[in-house]
Structure formats: structure tokens, C-alpha cells
């Protein structure tokens, strides 16, 4: 039973969620950061997990391209999709726009796994925008541990 987690992460929250998932999955797990890896092959894997985050309303382009390019293969895999985003009121909208509808329908699980604001990793503009939106410049990390467990259970239980 081989699993690959394909992800993109701007400041590290998605990456942290991918690592937390890896720690909970029995068997071989390959972590694949799409930023920097262009030719990801999923043929050898039984289970594919795809995770990204929302910045200014959009998921990372690498994730969108990966999903479109591999859609037919992904429809034949056990699939899990996860998203990190801070605006929970917009979660459903973000989700719909982030992943192709067919993949959302096919997935065994689709979850919000949390969000984080790592101010030390932001550039000046990002810091200014997020400080204005949240009213703070303190690093915040909200990881949905229960959702992570439910995500793994839905795929492997
Ligand atoms: C500049 C910036 C813009 C963001 N825009 C959105 C947004 O439009 N909607 C939302 O729900 N979250 C937004 N977020 C929150 C991110 O989705 C959240 O911080 C997430 O954890 C980022 O994960 P990553 O660092 O792994 O990419 C934004 C964060 C930053 C820093």
C-alpha cells in the first residue's frame, strides 16, 4: 500500500499538515512538494493525497495544474484532498474553486486541516495585509488535529 502526498505550501502550514498526515499513515509515504518538482509520477501509488492553501482567493497554480494534468489517473486512485485557509466563511467557495469538481466528488475525504500566519516568513506586503485583516502580527497556528485524524481514518480505516 503506497501513498504519495503532493502539496504546495507558501509559508509552511500545508507542509506541516502533510508531515502530520505522514506520521499517522501506516506504510510507505512519499512527500512531494510540487514547488520545485515538475514531473511527479503517481502511477506507482495506490493512494494520492493533494493539499494546498489559499492566498488571495486562489490555490497554488502548481496544484491546479497538477490536478488538471492528472485528472483521469486521479479518478482511478484512492484520493484525499485537503485545504488550508483562514477564512472559514469562504471555505466552501475556496474549495470549489481550488479543486476540479470531479475530483471533489471522487475523493474519499475532503477536509480543512487548518491555517497559520507565520509573520517571520511573510514579505512586507503580506505582513501589512494580514496585520490589517487580523489586527495582530503575532504568529498564529491553528492545526485541526481532529480533522487530520478523520482524514486518515476515512482513507485507511
Ligand atoms: C498574503 C496572504 C493571503 C491570504 N489570502 C487568503 C484568502 O484569500 N482566503 C483565505 O481563506 N485565507 C487566506 N490566507 C490564509 C492562508 O490560506 C493560510 O495562512 C494558510 O495556512 C497558508 O498556508 P501555507 O503557508 O502552507 O501556504 C492568506 C494568507 C496570506 C499570508
- Tens-digit pLDDT profile for residues 105-122: 999 999 999 999 999 999
pLDDT for the residue numbered 107: 98
Pocket of ligand 1 (CB under 6 A): 9-14, 53-57, 84-87, 90, 94, 115-117, 122, 126, 129-130
- Give 3-62 pLDDT, tens digit per residue: 999 999 999 999 999 999 999 999 899 999 999 887 899 999 999 999 999 999 999 999
Alpha helices in the chain (DSSP H): 13-24, 61-69, 71-74, 91-98, 101-106, 124-134, 145-156
Does domain 3-116+145-156 sit in CATH 3.40.50.360? yes
**Where in the chain are the domains?**
3-116+145-156
pTM value surpassing 0.95:
yes
Nearest protein Cα to ligand 1, atom 31: 126
What length is written for the chain?
A: 157
Amino acid at each position: 500500500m503506497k501513498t504519495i502526498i503532493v502539496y504546495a505550501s507558501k509559508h509552511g502550514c500545508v507542509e506541516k499538515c502533510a508531515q502530520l498526515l505522514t506520521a499517522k499513515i501506516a506504510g510507505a509515504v512519499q512527500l512531494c512538494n510540487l514547488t520545485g518538482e515538475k514531473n511527479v509520477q503517481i502511477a506507482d501509488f495506490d493512494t494520492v493525497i493533494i493539499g494546498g492553501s489559499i492566498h488571495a482567493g486562489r490555490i497554488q497554480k502548481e496544484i491546479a495544474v497538477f490536478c488538471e494534468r492528472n485528472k483521469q489517473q486521479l479518478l482511478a486512485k484512492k484520493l484525499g484532498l485537503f485545504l488550508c485557509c483562514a477564512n472559514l466563511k469562504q471555505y466552501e467557495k475556496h474549495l470549489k474553486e481550488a479543486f476540479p469538481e470531479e475530483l471533489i466528488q471522487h475523493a474519499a475525504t475532503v477536509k480543512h486541516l487548518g491555517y497559520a500566519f507565520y509573520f517571520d516568513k511573510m514579505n512586507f506586503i503580506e505582513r501589512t495585509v494580514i496585520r490589517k485583516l487580523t489586527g495582530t502580527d503575532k504568529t498564529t497556528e491553528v492545526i485541526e488535529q481532529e480533522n487530520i485524524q478523520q482524514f486518515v481514518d476515512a482513507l485507511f480505516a
